[in-house]
Chains A and B, each alone.
Chain A
Amino acid sequence: MTTGFVFALAGAALFALGVAGVVLIGHLLRRILAFNLMGSGACLVLVGLAQRHDVADPVPQAMVLTGIVVAVAATALALALVRKLHALTGQLELLDDADK
């Protein structure tokens, strides 16, 4: 088992943890952290799996850079929305959809 493959396995585990966090946790900041964990996991799989024969591959690394930019933008948007929600309602959790 090469280091690249270990990275990929770790990435898959992180992704699973992240998804569980986003779905199960109530606190919004923690959910945002969990989303970042998820994104990092996917990126680790992308880079790790591609160089599992221990030959570096530049293409997935370029993709991961793009992925990081996307994750930063998404995190910023999520944080802005959470701050707005906190300012409006004083809450840091999503309550049940009020008007069905």
Chain B
Amino acid sequence: MPINEPLIDPLVWLILLPLAWATLAFVLGPGRGAWLAIGGLVAQCWLAFNLAQKVGALGTAQVGPDQLVGTALHAVGGWGAPLGIDLAVDGLSAAMLLLTQTVALPLAIYARSYFKADDPAGTWFWPLTGFLIAGLNALFVSADLFNLYVTLELVGLAAVGLVAAGGGAQQVAAALRYLFATLVGSGAYLLGVALIYGVYGTVSIATLLPLVTDDAPRLVWIAGGLMVAGLMLKTALFPFHFWLPPAHGGAPAPVSALLSALVVKASFYLILRLWLGPLQPLLPAFAWLMAALGAAAIFWGSWQAIRAVKLKRLIAYSTVAQLGYLFLIFPLLAAPGALQAGVMQVFAHGLAKAGMFAAAGVLIKATGQDTVAGLAGAVERLPVTMFAFALSGMTLMGLPPSSGFLAKWQIIEAALAQGHWIIAVVVLAGGLLAAVYVFRVLRQAFLLKPASVALAPVPRTLEWSAFALAAASVLLGLRGVELMQLLGAGT
């Protein structure tokens, strides 16, 4: 594929812009830093849309990741792979970039109103979020396994910092637990990369693609196992989910939203990338194991969400459950439609969970407590927020016309087409369980409450940015075709 100039620019700027505003926000402080971040994110949204359009227009003609050479380092030193770094973008990466920017922008607007001026968490939020987004964007365009490791660590360290930003003992403990989990995960991934380099002498995804075959040496199998296991730990797939509920449930609401919507998806994206790319001949041996763990995650996560006392714990366990759906697609990937279903679920859950955590943040601010029981009467006083919560819940349950419905429908369709009805049963049961925990919250919110109990006033921006995310998760269901077409490009 020819390297064309207009494609290179947005790619590089999607990594440089967040790095720039993160550093500036650190210097300027949270007040001006927040505006800078929002401005930067608006530009990034535009760049990501632009990139997605261009990649979509390239269509399905190309095979494999296209080698686009272009970082600032390259332009100066002119070093290509293996010593320099190649960036590549195809339909899958363009879609993930789009999701990252579109979730981050409303959350940034939300976070600016969420953190009070003297809140220490607000001071660290802007720089760390910038580094997190730079890491995510770099991860989605990396074209070699080692660069993916470095970006994975960038994302992990920034996310741990965000969890600890609140500074409470609970939050620091949750951050440490998360840190050890994420370090073991990326350590296993790095060892896998080392073994692959030892065998093939390259880490470039495109070069590895034809080299790895069915009769690969045992070392490569071990490498594949290590990499996928490490990434499963980072994606919090059952039974590796132990670190997620305290980390996502304990952090400030905008941080929980970023982590649940985007960060866990980064390691899932990487599993998908390996599965569809260089490790394709090996990994399908694990397909049913992953689907079984995914099903276990759906049941265990939903069950814990149904039992949770605290509101944010409930939402965090719901993330554990929703991540399970992503792993149901692996036995189905041989047939068309399964990849689209998986990415649709990534979008649906990303937007819905960001909206739900944002709504929960509003409710906690207004009621002053993080419990489901404390929500009585919320519908009357905070109708917009509860509507946002209900819309997000609709997507998680998979009611039409939401994007969650589209994702689950496609998984069921692909499963039935290949005769794996058991997966369809799991999806349907998961939807019912989601309905139980969503309605648990809604029922409580609809209860009448004595007017004597006052709710604290909440800024309008908070309510409406939560609503925007939730509404987007439902409306995406109507624009699913465009997303599917984008995925067709280059994957």
Contact = CB atoms under 8 A, between A and B. Distances in A.
Interface stretch (B15-23, B180-188, B385-393, B466-474): B180-188
A1 interface: no
Interface residues of A, number: 46
Contacts of B176: 28, 78, 81-82, 85, 94
A97 B183 contact: no
B198 interface: yes
Interface string A75-100: 00110011011001100001101111
Contact of A98 (B82, B160, B170, B193): B170
Interface in A53-68: 57-60, 62-63, 66-67
Contacts of A77: 157, 160-161, 179
B183 A22 contact: yes
A63 B168 CA distance: 36
A46 B197 contact: yes
Contacts of B82: 59
Contacts of B24: none
Contact of A62 (B83, B157, B193): B83
Interface string B160-178: 1100100111101111110
Nearest to A73: B157
B190 interface: yes
Contact of B187 (A19, A28, A84, A89): A19
Contacts of A41: 191
Contacts of A97: 174, 177, 245-246
B194 A70 contact: no
Contacts of B174: 97
B292 interface: no
Interface string A42-59: 110110011010000111
A57 B203 CA distance: 14
B310 interface: yes
Interface in A15-52: 15, 18-19, 22-23, 28, 31, 35, 38-39, 41-43, 45-46, 49-50, 52
Query: Taking chain B's interface residues, is the majority helix, strand, or loop, or is none over half, making it mixed?
Result: helix
B313 interface: yes
A59 B191 CA distance: 16
A73 B146 CA distance: 17
A39 B203 CA distance: 18
Contacts of B194: 11, 42-43, 45-46, 49, 60
B413 interface: no
Contacts of A88: 168-169, 172
A30 to B, nearest CB: 12
A61 to B, nearest CB: 11
A94 B170 contact: no
B239 interface: no
Contact of A42 (B160, B190, B309): B190
Contact of A46 (B170, B193, B199, B308): B193
A74 B157 contact: yes
B150 interface: yes
A50 B200 CA distance: 9
Interface string B52-96: 000000000000000000000000000000110000000000000
Given A42-B187, A59-B83, A22 B246 contact: no
Contact of A31 (B172, B180, B246): B180
22 contacts: A15-B187, A19-B184, A22-B184, A31-B180, A38-B184, A39-B190, A45-B194, A52-B198, A70-B150, A73-B157, A74-B183, A77-B157, A77-B160, A78-B176, A81-B160, A81-B176, A84-B164, A94-B173, A95-B173, A97-B174, A99-B310, A99-B313
A2 to B, nearest CB: 12
Contacts of A58: 83
B479 to A, nearest CB: 39
Nearest to B219: A49
Contacts of A99: 170, 309-310, 313
B195 interface: yes
A59 to B, nearest CB: 5
B39 interface: no
A77 B168 CA distance: 16
Contacts of A57: 201
